Structure 1
Amino acid sequence: MQDFFRTAGADFTDTFKGAWIFPLLILCIIWILWQEKDRMKRLLTGILPLVFLFLYWCPLTGKLFMKILGENVYWRILWLILPAVTIPYAGCLLLGKVKGILRYGVFLAGLAVLALCGKKVLSEEWFAPSTNVYKLPQNVVAVCDLLPENIHALVSNRLMPYIRQYDPSITLEFGRNAMIYNGMEEPKDDSQILYLEAQKQEIDLEILAPLAKQRGCTFLIFSANRTYIGDWEAYGYKKYADTDEFCIFVDEDYQTGEDTRKWED
């Protein structure tokens, strides 16, 4: 129970932090329930958001959704609340209560409230100036420039969304869909075991390296702060190259120019 509320609370805070949209949303819901006379409109814009909030915080439904969706995407339940519908609709109800020049004043005040309660879309938290023509993180470009073409690789989750944008000749052992394995306590197959081991701060090469070999991962790329139990060369891999943020390892049997891709584009 505590784990559920810890996860739900962290996701809720991360979704609404840095803004006052949620308090504004609650005020708008109250206003709609008070002023809207049409039952269907009141249901859709006032009651339904409260229902989704209840489903989000209720441990019974919350654990069910976490099991179905995965803990990493549970926060998307909050998208169903639709503040972009509820808040403007409440504003329209308010505008309908005033007339003449006062309506323009209320409209401008509403815009000001939205601006002050929200946060910048193009904030430094999510956006950064482009440093290359590909508009990809520079650490991705630094890694890709060291890799040969036509290889199969197991890469850090930090690189996963970008590698094939830079070089589509590289195939990846895991895509973003593999993130559903995060938090899995009892992996059921070798693929899940390999993924979960690769996420650890201290990676046991006795577990990871044979599975990576078995699945044809020619190159392995991990964050530079990872530590390892065992010797890479004892399991058929060796250091290939480094960047400021990542370490690259290669299968000792790999021949320069060899095509090790699992599929062709």
Structure 2
Amino acid sequence: MSTTHTDTVTWNDKAFDEIAANDAGRPVLFTNARVLTMDPLIGTLRGADVLLVGALLVGVGPGIITAAGDDNAIVVDCTGMTVVPAVVDTVALVGGRGQRSEYVGTLTPGNTGDLLVVPDEFAPDVAGAQAMLLTRPQEVRALIANGKPVLWAGTDAPDRSTAPEAGIPAAEDLTGSPRVGVWIDRNDFLYQELTADGRYDETRGGRPHAYEGRYWIDGDRIDYLDDLGFWAFGEFRGDELRHAGYAMRLGADSRS
């Protein structure tokens, strides 16, 4: 942790030091908080705990603190604080989700640990708490994304995740990549050729060059920028490339 941040931390500084040095996968427990879960089943809790293990929220409610010692959890005292989701599912807010399991961004066990901690007086509701990020970030006690601090005690956390640089990246040289080649769907309808210079060329239903453009691979995700100007994506799953409802595999190009 940087010296500058250590000097300015005035809220749960010991806990923050432990989180910053947490290489052993210790759970992190935010305790004794008012928790606005936005989960229709759980609702709002007072004097409650939120337990994170890695990037996953595994428990919410009163009494989890009793097990903190058993699991060697890092304890963050949130007395006088409100914990809210850092991400709001506006579709769910207006009743647009049919099932609770489809809700995104609630503080529900099993969801990703994205949460915001602010003093009670700045959190009349979830919207008010989230507004603090833009209007008074110095009052934010913690912003957690995927279980890791982004802000702490009103300042940037060291080694925080940062957004990708804006703009379209340069093409990569993918010579030798096992994902370069012609991907063919099971019905022999779609042929998608990925070339080593970062270009793709699709044949659909025998229609050559139906779509052409650039692509970038990030882990198991592939992003496409078509020459017509639209963006699309796909996912590599095992030996398949899933894109726009098609499941493709690398194969020999049988087009004449």
Give the structure-2-normalised TM-score: 0.28
Give the structure-1-normalised TM-score: 0.27
Q: Hey, which of these two has a bigger chunk of strand by percent? A: 2
Larger radius of gyration: 1
Q: Hey, which of these two has a bigger chunk of helix by percent? A: 1
